Amino acid sequence: MFPNGWPGKGLLILRLVAGIFLIEDGIRAFIGSPRLEPMTLLLFAAAAGGIFLLVGLWTPVAGIVVGVAEIVILQSCPVNLRSAILLSAFGITLAMLGPGAWSVDALLFGRHRLDLH
């Protein structure tokens, strides 16, 4: 399903906010840590999921990646407790609800009209 109207706009806002914050966390990890550490790799995975969520591509898979990465980050280093909980909830919620009508997923996999003439 690719909801349109108010539900679709709500999903778009949820995807944009989650994607922006995840990408920002990934950029901060890249700038702050010159070495590849397990935490940095988790933040990169979450940021990659954030990019996919931002455009609405492979949303269920990206949401699961974000949710799992943020839960592991939460267990490993509970410094940004609220951020990790919210981003994990956003990812899991988007994995369950889908991207909405304004997404690449809707363009690729949405309803298509067949002209059979």
Q: How confident is the model at residue 62 (pLDDT cuts 50, 70, 90)?
A: very high
Nearest to 21 by CA among 93, 110, 87: 87
pLDDT tens profile 18-48: 999 999 999 988 887 767 788 888 999 999 9
b/e burial code for range 55-75 (CB count within 10 A of at least 16 → b)? bbbbbeebbbbbbbbbbbbbe
pTM, whole model, 2 decimals?
Answer: 0.87
Average model confidence (pLDDT) across the chain: 89
Q: For residue 78, count CB atoms less than 10 angstroms from its CB and return exposed for 0-12, middle for 13-18, buried for 19 or more.
A: exposed
For the chain, the domains span 5-101
